[in-house]
Structure formats: C-alpha cells, structure tokens
Chain A
C-alpha cells in the first residue's frame, strides 16, 4: 500500500505526460514512416519502411521550407535587436535619471502592457498599406520594435543597480551611454537572456501579424509557411506534412531542451516577475 502511494504521483504524471507528448511523438514517427503506413495507428517506434529522407526532402522541395526558417530568423533577430536597442536606454533613464514626464511615461508603458497587438493591427496595417510597405520584412517587424514589456522588465531590474557605482563611474569619466550599456545592463544579464528567449519564441511562433501583412510566400515566417504548406498538401501526404511541422518546431524545441531553465524563466516571466 505504501509503495502504491509512493508511485501514484509518478503514475498520474506519467499518464498526463503521455497525452501531452503524444503529438510530438506522432509527428516525429509519421515524419520518418513511409506514406504507405499511414493507416497503421500503432505507436511502435520502428517503421517498417524508413522513409525519413523522402519525407523531409518533399517538405523542403514542395515549399521553400528553408526560406521560411531563414525569414523567421531574420524577423526574430531584427525585432530583438531593435527592441533591446530602444528599451535599454529608456529603461535606464526611467530607473536612474531624472527628467520631466518620467512618471507619465512609466504610466503609459504600463497602460500599453495591456494592449494586445491584435487590437492595433488594423490601423498599423492601414498605415503600412498607405506607405506601400506591405510584403516587406519591415512590415513584419515594425509593430514589435517597441517592447513595453522589455522597458518594464529592464526598469525593474535596473532599479536595483547600486547608485554609488553609477556615481563612481561618472566621476571616473564614463559617459551615460557607457554606464547604461557597459555597467548597468551587464548587471542585468539574466533579465536580458530571459527577455531574448521570450521575444524570439513569441515572434517565431506568431501567425496573426504575418498573415495580415505578408502574401508573398517567399517572405513567410515558419507558421505562415506551415499554413501554406498544409494547404498545398491538403491531407494527401501526411509524412511530408509532419516532416514540415517537425522542421518548424525543431529550432524552438532543441533550444528549449538545451537551455531549459532560461526558456522557462523567459516565457513565464510575464507572470512571475
């Protein structure tokens, strides 16, 4: 009886994990099975015919899968760089400098935290259309150039940096830029890492905004590409479809498994911090 009580939690957790992980397993299994085994619903891990190469080949040739990944990388990095470049100095000024309108700006930042991008999509889309910028990388990135969340997060983190070190640096002749990037941000590297994960995961996986501003398949980021791909395949070849899905989810899953702590901290910091 005692042994059962001891193992019961593992049993429950194991059953739950089976359901949670089933889609990943099924995705990978189908992606290495031949299309002929499509009616085989067994979960046996070794396919009768090993068709991994064929499926992935088809996923990469039917649609420019590698191009989607590259687009995703460009968009994510572009967004992240501008977000950090604009949020860090603003957060530093809000946390450590005095200027008129400081309180107002902080209030606006917190108010903006509640406004989802989907609510701003319409006017931003109209604006980009008027400027003839639809179907560009810029259009995909522009609405995310300012991350109020990054400003909020860095502001919280920078505030705890000792004022005396900043003053010592001023007396030593550091410029405010050097203090901001070289000293204060260096003291908040865990926040920077967590935010980077948060930002990259969010934009790698985002479908709504690319779907609005991109119609050119060559500019599509992975989720939009996946949508195109499943339309093209329309259920005909599940092996290739699953290979495509595996390719698109792989970068985030691999990064997650490698840096599990950072990922969990980064993605959930909206809640804990």
Chain B
C-alpha cells in the first residue's frame, strides 16, 4: 500500500518566528524522500505535521489525494519511527509489535486487561500473531519476541521500532532521525538495511535526518531545508552536481565543498585574487561572489593556483590535501583536493592546483546560484 503525500502552503508560527514558511511538497507514491537540514530548520516539525502530531497554522496535508489536515494521528494510517524508538516500556517485544494491529482490529472491550482476552475473537488474535511473527522475521528479531525493551541493545530496539511500523501496511512510513542513536558502524549497516527494506516494501518513506550522508545514500529525492523553507528539492545527484544555493552546496558532500571569494568583473569574467579563472557569469552580476569547487574536481598541475599544504589526510583509498591559497597570506583560504595515492605531498610544500571551469559553481551575494560558462581560456 503506497500513497502519495501532498503538502500545500504549510505554515507554522507567526511573523519573524515562523518555524515553517509556506511549504509545498509532493511526495510520490513509493518514493524515499529525505528532509535534511541543520537542527532548527523545521524538518522535524514538518514531519510531525504530516503525522498529525502537530497542527499547521496554514495550509493542508493530503495523503493519497484525501485531505487529512483535520484528522487525528491515528486516523491517518501512517507509521512513525521515533528517534528514541518510543517502545512501550511495560510490553514485551511481541506486544509492542502487535499494538498497532490490536488498536485497529480489536474493539475497546477486548483491549481491556484480563476481560479482553475473553472478548477478543480467536481468529483475529491468530492473524495478529502471524503478522507479528512475519514482521519480526523480516527484521531478524524473532528470537527477541519475549523480551522487554529494557533488555535490548540500541540496534535491537531500532529493529523492534521498525517492525512495529511495518506490521500494518501503512500509507507511508515517517522516520525521525531513526539512526542517530546508533554507533557509527551500526548506522552504516542499518542504512543499507533501510534502503533494502524500502525496495522490498515499495512503500512511501519520508525520512528526516541532519546527516547528509544518510540522505545521499538512501533517498530517491532530497528536500534540503533551511530556516523553515525548502532550499532545493531534487535527486541526490542533482543536489550534489547543481546546488541551487550556497547553503545547499555547503551542506551536501564530504568533505565540504571548497568556497573561495571571487570578483565578477563588469565584463562578466570571474577573477580570483586578480587572476582570471576562465569562467564568465551570465547577466549583470558584477561584484563580489563565491566560487565553489568540489575537492575531487581539483587536481595538481604544473601551473595554476599556488597552494601551501597544511596537512594531508588519508581515508583509505582517498587522500585529501588541506592547504591555504597563497595569493593572500593575510587571509588564508582553506582548500581541499583529493589526490591519488602515489603523489608525494608534504606539509609546507607549495603546489599548484587547477580545476576545469565547467565544474565550478558560482553563487551571488544573496547565496543563489549564478549561471556561469567557461570562457575559451583554461583556468589559471
């Protein structure tokens, strides 16, 4: 069961304190969409509005084409995985996973303790039990069914929370930083499992995270949020290759993109410390601007920008060089590039680097992307 989720004109808060400013977002059925951004950007609030845990001040939420803005959380048929997993502490794992089904399929009378057992139909209970066991099997926690949450490790609790979410096929899965309480290794492992789970279920996933790696590795599309707005919505490679704003460029990618202050001359050509870069800005955008280049686009060349090496950093196959651009000693600009293993680079060496101009991103003073094209000259 996969449904679309449509947000139209969602706003929350008033005046300067707006948490969300007029958000439009349409999540396709079966899509894995991540909401990423720094803490306080409004991504969690947006997810909670979709879940119905918070009410928007303006705008509407539709699931599968039906307006649910005024519906209670339980009536929206959404499953949510919380950051703290929110398992019921007094219930066994089996009861925890069964709860969403029991609440939907059993009457109030049969949910009461003690008497309930008599009132519930044996048929329904059997079906519930079967679904619970299936969900547990999917997540490899069958052997934990009779434990209490307090007896489980963080990773196991995470799986129970997932099993509780998928036991009833919900219209969509909502996940609020579900991996942030796990250690780094387990987190990488669960990323793969979550992506696999999404492929197998073919369900709609809306995933909130502050970790761009999680978003980049799992999502079909990413909505990058900042200050209550969606800065850019697109596939991971669109955000990486064509960041719409300086914020997006800064947020996406490890190591972070190199940013250097440049000057757009009246004729449009872009100059760095007085050197032309072989890049021209379209339109009338003369004045200071910011140039962004990814580390992997920079290479060591016989001539180019002089860079004083600070240190090198090895990440297995990748090696990164950190250095200061030498044109202005008083204002060192940190620059990173990735190099192949064989090149010998030492601290305090001065090397020359360059990058293909078509791989550079130019941003105006307001942070928005400026259209730019390479001129015939090679980058200095």
A and B touch in the complex (CB under 8 A): yes
Interface residues of A (CB under 8 A from B): 162, 164-165, 167-174, 178, 183, 186-187
Instruction: Tally B residues with Cβ within 8 Å of A.
Output: 25
Alpha-carbon distance between A169 and B85 when the two chains are bound, in angstroms: 12
How far does the alpha carbon of A36 sit from the alpha carbon of B103 in the complex, in Å?
71
Contact of A173 with B86 in the complex, beta carbons under 8 Å? no
Known A164-B82, A186-B90: A171·B51 in contact at CB below 8 Å: yes
| 29 chain-A/chain-B pairs, Cβ below 8 angstroms | A162-B84, A162-B86, A164-B83, A164-B85, A164-B86, A165-B86, A165-B87, A165-B88, A165-B89, A167-B48, A167-B73, A167-B80, A167-B82, A167-B86, A168-B86, A168-B88, A170-B53, A170-B72, A170-B73, A170-B74, A171-B51, A171-B52, A171-B73, A171-B80, A173-B74, A173-B104, A174-B103, A183-B88, A187-B90
Decide: A172 and B90 in contact? CB cutoff 8 A: no
The answer to whether A169 and B80 touch across the interface, beta carbons within 8 angstroms, is no
> CB distance A187 to B74 under 8 Å?
no
Q: Name the 7 nearest CB pairs between A and B, nearest first.
A: A173-B74, A173-B103, A168-B86, A164-B86, A164-B82, A171-B73, A165-B86
Other contacts beyond A168-B82, A172-B103, A183-B88: 12, CB < 8 A: A164-B86, A167-B82, A168-B80, A170-B73, A170-B74, A171-B51, A171-B78, A172-B100, A173-B100, A174-B74, A183-B90, A187-B90
Which of B79, B84, B99, B111 has a CB less than 8 Å from the CB of A164? B84
Cα A172 to Cα B53 with chains together (Å) = 12
Bitwise interface map of B from 89 to 131 toward A, beta carbon under 8 Å scored 1, else 0: 1100000000110011000000100000000000000000000
The complex places the Cα of A165 from the Cα of B89 at a distance, in Å, of: 9
Q: Is the CB of B53 within 8 A of A171?
A: yes
Q: Which of B84, B88, B104, B111 has the most CB of A within 10 A?
A: B88
Within 8 Å CB of A172, what residues of B?
74, 99-100, 103
Alpha-carbon gap, A171 to B81, bound state (A): 11
How far is B91's CA from A172's CA once the two chains are assembled, in angstroms?
14
Closest to B103 in A: A173
Q: Which B residues are in CB contact (< 8 Å) with A187? A: 89-90
Contacts of A167 on B, CB cut-off 8 Å? 48, 51, 53, 73, 80, 82, 86
Task: List chain B residues, Cβ under 8 A from A183.
Answer: 88, 90
* A174 neighbours in B (Cβ, 8 Å): 74, 103
Most buried by B among A168, A173, A186: A168
Residues of the B chain whose Cβ atoms lie less than 8 Å from the Cβ of A170: 53, 72-74
Q: Which residue of the partner chain B has the closest CB to A165?
A: B86
Given the complex of chains A and B, what is the CA–CA distance between A173 and B108 in angstroms?
11
How far apart sit A4 and B369, CA to CA, in the bound complex (Å)?
Answer: 87
Q: A186–B83 Cα gap in the complex (Å)?
A: 22
In angstroms, Cα B99 to Cα A162, docked, is: 18
The winner among A162, A164, A186, A187 for most chain B CB atoms within 10 A is: A164
Specify which chain B residues have a CB less than 8 angstroms from the CB of A162 in the assembled complex. Answer: 84, 86
Closest to A169 in B: B88
| A171 adjacent to B90 (CB under 8 Å) | no
The docked-state distance in angstroms from the alpha carbon of A168 to that of B53 is 9
Which residues does chain A contribute within 8 Å of B99, judged by CB atoms?
172
Across the interface, which residues of A come within 8 angstroms of B51, CB to CB?
Answer: 167, 171
Tell me which residues across on chain A come within 8 A of B83, comparing CB atoms.
164
Least Cβ–Cβ distance between A131 and chain B, in angstroms: 36
